[in-house]
């Protein structure tokens, strides 16, 4: 009989990266011979969030989602459909106690990660994301978890020290995360790839529509919640549009009311399905992104890349670029555009990525045993 694994992560936000890292983690666990279920929990709508002042979904937004009124509503519904069809979800939970009673002792292994499950700015140190609901006798593992910050808020240090001491093994996906764990006293933690990179481009291709794009284009994958890359990103896009003489397609972050978006003639593709998302990355001539997962998918497909990062505080993208030896693809906000070089040796990059993938998978396999 296969051992049972419960994966606890973030997948309910309307974000391609969060959904796909969950799918990838589930795939990896199952490929290693385990049964995997995903805890159906929305940290933004749960009891803990309400206690910490997080506002619930308004009636207006609920109606918008139901009717698909706005682009963001339709995108959210596309991602929800993918999760329903592809993730092995438990029943839905909103309360810690209910999770503890129903799921706390049912599985052989409990896994937390990936995504920003330890970013206390957004999770308010939710105990579900420290696996506090799981029975003390059960194995607990962290796979590629992210703090998404340089330092852990002092008020949470004691809680993390106590709860992470109950884990059999810990891994994170960024260098800063490794430093935080070390400061907490966990010296043997591991730096591993984000789950989206644990699946090769060939494996991701199984979800693609395989429709080749005939004309070259720059792909924009713009997120603005962690830091503000605008209007700088539009200067970058203008520079490379003139240099490459090609159109710009926005897979994330399109704002049709922005004058710079209109000036650049950016095409809106934000309501893409998952197969279309993968197609756009695979066939891009250049990816310009302020997103960790935008960076990850560009690297997985070996596509020229400009990864725009903040000046300090969040090393998610820069840590990944450093691991594959492509710091040249990084642009800090307001840095001289010509400073970076998005074009690189794909063959060498893929060799480096495969070595990191193999090492990360070996660590996961060893620690699941």
Start-end of CATH 3.40.50.2000 domains in the chain: 207-349
Distance CA 62, CA 65 (A): 5
**Residue 201 confidence (pLDDT):** 97
If the chain, 369 residues long, is cut into consecutive pieces of 10 residues, what is the mean pLDDT of each piece? 95 95 98 98 94 85 81 92 97 98 98 94 96 97 94 96 98 95 96 97 91 83 92 97 97 94 97 95 97 97 97 82 96 94 98 98 96
Q: What are 253's strand-pairing partners? A: none
**Residue 302 confidence (pLDDT):** 98
Measuring CA to CA, how many Å separate 131 from each of 134, 146, 174?
Answer: 6, 15, 21
Measuring CA to CA, how many Å separate 154 from each of 58, 157, 271?
Answer: 33, 5, 40
Three-state DSSP class for residue 8 = strand
**Residue 92 confidence (pLDDT):** 98
**Residue 213 confidence (pLDDT):** 64
**Residue 62 confidence (pLDDT):** 77
Distance CA 134, CA 247 (A): 50
The CATH superfamily holding the domain 207-349 is Glycogen Phosphorylase B; (3.40.50.2000)
| DSSP result, 104-143 | TTT-SEEEE-SSSTT-HHHHTT-GGGGTTTS-TTSEEEE-
Measuring CA to CA, how many Å separate 73 from each of 77, 81, 222?
Answer: 6, 12, 18
CATH fold of 4-199? Rossmann fold (3.40.50)
328, burial (CB in 10 Å: exposed 0-12, middle 13-18, buried 19+): middle
**Residue 211 confidence (pLDDT):** 63
Three-state DSSP class for residue 88 = coil
pTM over cut 0.75: yes
**Residue 59 confidence (pLDDT):** 80
Q: Taking Cα atoms as reference points, which of 13, 3, 31 lies closest to residue 291?
A: 13
């Amino acid at each position: 009989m296969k051992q049972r694994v419960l994966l606890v992560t973030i997948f309910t936000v309307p974000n391609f990266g969060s959904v796909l890292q969950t799918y990838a983690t589930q795939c990896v666990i199952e490929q290693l011979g385990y049964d995997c279920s995903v805890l159906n929990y929305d940290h933004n709508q749960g009891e803990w969030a309400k206690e910490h002042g997080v506002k619930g979904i308004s009636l207006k937004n609920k109606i918008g989602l139901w009717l698909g009124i706005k682009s963001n509503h339709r995108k959210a519904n596309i991602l929800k459909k993918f999760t329903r069809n592809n993730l092995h979800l438990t029943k839905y939970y909103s309360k810690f106690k209910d999770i503890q009673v129903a799921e706390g002792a049912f599985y052989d292994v409990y896994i937390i990660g990936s995504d920003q499950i330890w970013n206390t700015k957004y999770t308010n140190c939710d105990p579900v994301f420290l696996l506090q609901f799981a029975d003390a006798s059960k194995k607990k593992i962290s796979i590629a978890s992210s703090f998404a910050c340089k330092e852990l808020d002092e008020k949470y240090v004691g809680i993390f020290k106590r709860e992470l001491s109950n884990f059999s093994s810990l891994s994170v996906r960024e260098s800063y995360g490794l430093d935080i764990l070390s400061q907490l006293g966990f010296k043997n933690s591991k730096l591993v790839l984000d789950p989206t990179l644990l699946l090769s481009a060939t494996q991701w291709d199984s979800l693609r529509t395989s429709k080749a794009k005939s004309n070259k284009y720059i792909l924009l994958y713009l997120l603005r919640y962690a830091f503000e890359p605008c209007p700088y990103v539009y200067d970058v896009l203008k520079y490379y549009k003139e240099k490459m003489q090609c159109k710009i397609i926005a897979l994330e972050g399109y704002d049709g009311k922005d004058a710079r978006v209109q000036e650049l003639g950016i095409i809106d593709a934000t309501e893409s399905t998952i197969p279309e998302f993968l197609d756009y990355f695979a066939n891009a001539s250049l990816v310009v992104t302020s997103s960790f997962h935008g960076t990850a998918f560009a690297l997985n497909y070996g596509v020229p890349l400009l990864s725009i990062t903040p000046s300090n505080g969040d090393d998610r993208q820069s840590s990944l670029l450093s691991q594959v030896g492509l710091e040249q693809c990084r642009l800090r906000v307001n840095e001289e555009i010509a400073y970076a070089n998005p074009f690189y040796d794909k063959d060498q990059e893929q060799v480096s990525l495969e070595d990191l993938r193999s090492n990360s998978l070996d660590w996961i396999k060893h620690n699941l045993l």
